[in-house]
Chain A
């Protein structure tokens, strides 16, 4: 049934640190790799070696530039974006077949691909562009929070986190229960002022974003820097003159 659960026992989700993310896209690639080989239809590419390649991805990294109003240098912020596993997920309730659902036990939003007719309405309802229709399979693909990793006892314990979190070389991604105020991720969100994307749409995302920290401002240098090679003494001065004559 595509009715949303009244509440979920846990709220598993991601915390993404915009201060730390370096925009390397490793999370994008590891996500594509894991989710092509595992749960559901593979994430296909179209015209992969042609002039206009396109493909299905569950996670994408946008890059933004913030230009401070009061002068100063602009700041680049890399912005990974995937399903936010919203508490009030509009993508779930619009589904006509019951293929989209939110799990009562952990709050993960999933697609039962065997029931998906590929109408695309859930992607219309999602403000975040978290769902992409796979052009080969004709079914809707989205982040599963690596549901086939996080509970997988065949994997070493270190690996029982989403592929994007496991691979992030900068440590900008965290995974945990955001419904438990005592969890490490909840405390991180509280201490760093984590925020929701487009809160005005009332979707109540579980995933949180940590804002970039304010940057240090360098004081104006008291002595302007001097080029180093302008002294005309000793060996280098002789070499300079000799080279000039050649």
Chain B
């Protein structure tokens, strides 16, 4: 899948923002007065900047309000509702904390639930896609929630909780990669099954329907070269898991927390880029790309494909 920067920034920033708001709502290291102003300001700013960024990939953002209408069937519509509900509830909780210097637990707990609910609903937009085997799993909501909760835990400065969340995130991230790499071939999708022509023998693409590129190829047939992906995964684990954990173990000051959060944010960006870039859509079968078991990569005619993938990766 095409790793659209606006969607990656959205899910990374709003994930961190809602994660932090959840901790603030539960009263974990939540201050009052000016402290609360900066704390809630950060959480709400991250969430809102992320949500605004998500509208940049729309073809017609002027009609975005219509996205509130189909909550009965569409996870994207549900996301619009729950994000607004979470921000409004946390807004009330924040106003009471800043101006009245009071924490109202009922509002806070409700806001925390809605904040994590928003992250869950976002993840379901991806997890529901039967067309993208790598995403179509309960690991996807687990990954989004763990990523968001660990960002929130780091920002809240609660060392024990942060370390636990980061450890859990590391395990879930590795599980996502391990399972995801075999998900496509594991489902039994192939060029033969997609075309229904397998009974006659071995099926391969003879000629593409168009000589140039098109929307489908740009959006769904993005490929990352294997070597590049392995390196990125290693870098991701360093920033996503190891650095934040080591920094907060060494020091729990405001500066250390800022550094740990910065490292975690970089790690989340890499992880989310891989989440999209390595996701394979079944439509690529009609273009002759068929991932093999355990490769995690769409490799048609071997080396040639990998070279194309590497060029595409470099161009992004």
Contacts and interface: CB of A to CB of B under 8 A. Distances in A.
Contacts of B1: 124
Contact of A117 (B67, B209, B212): B67
Interface in B130-170: 130-132
Nearest to B199: A211
A2 interface: yes
A172 B219 CA distance: 30
B212 A54 contact: yes
Interface string B200-221: 1111111111101111100110
Given A116-B59, A117-B63, A212-B200, A124 B281 contact: yes
B283 interface: yes
Interface string B71-98: 0111111001000000000000000000
A160 B37 CA distance: 66
B64 interface: yes
A64 to B, nearest CB: 5
Contacts of A96: 66-67, 69-70, 74, 76-77, 80
Interface stretch (B111-119, B189-197, B244-252, B267-275): B189-197
Interface string A98-131: 1100000000000000011111110111111100
Interface stretch (A134-142, A181-189, A217-225, A233-241): A134-142
Contacts of B219: 120, 123-124, 133
A100 to B, nearest CB: 9
B60 A64 contact: no
A69 interface: yes
B206 A197 contact: no
B204 A90 contact: no
Interface string B277-294: 000011100110000000
B94 to A, nearest CB: 28
B70 A137 contact: no
B211 to A, nearest CB: 9
A31 interface: no
A64 B206 contact: yes
Contacts of B64: 117
B196 A121 contact: no
Contact of A129 (B80, B132, B286): B286
Nearest to B287: A62
B30 interface: no
Interface residues on A, range: 35 or more
B298 to A, nearest CB: 15
A200 B201 contact: no
B196 to A, nearest CB: 5
A130 B48 CA distance: 34
A31 B89 CA distance: 50
B32 interface: no
A85 B296 CA distance: 31
B197 A81 contact: no
A95 interface: yes
Interface stretch (A5-13, A72-80, A147-155, A161-169): A72-80
Contact of B75 (A67, A75, A94, A126): A94
Given A3-B73, A76-B206, 16 more contacts: A54-B214, A62-B205, A64-B206, A68-B200, A90-B130, A96-B77, A97-B63, A98-B66, A119-B58, A123-B219, A124-B129, A126-B283, A195-B196, A197-B195, A201-B131, A209-B196
10 contacts: A61-B209, A62-B208, A65-B203, A92-B73, A95-B74, A96-B67, A117-B61, A135-B215, A137-B59, A195-B196
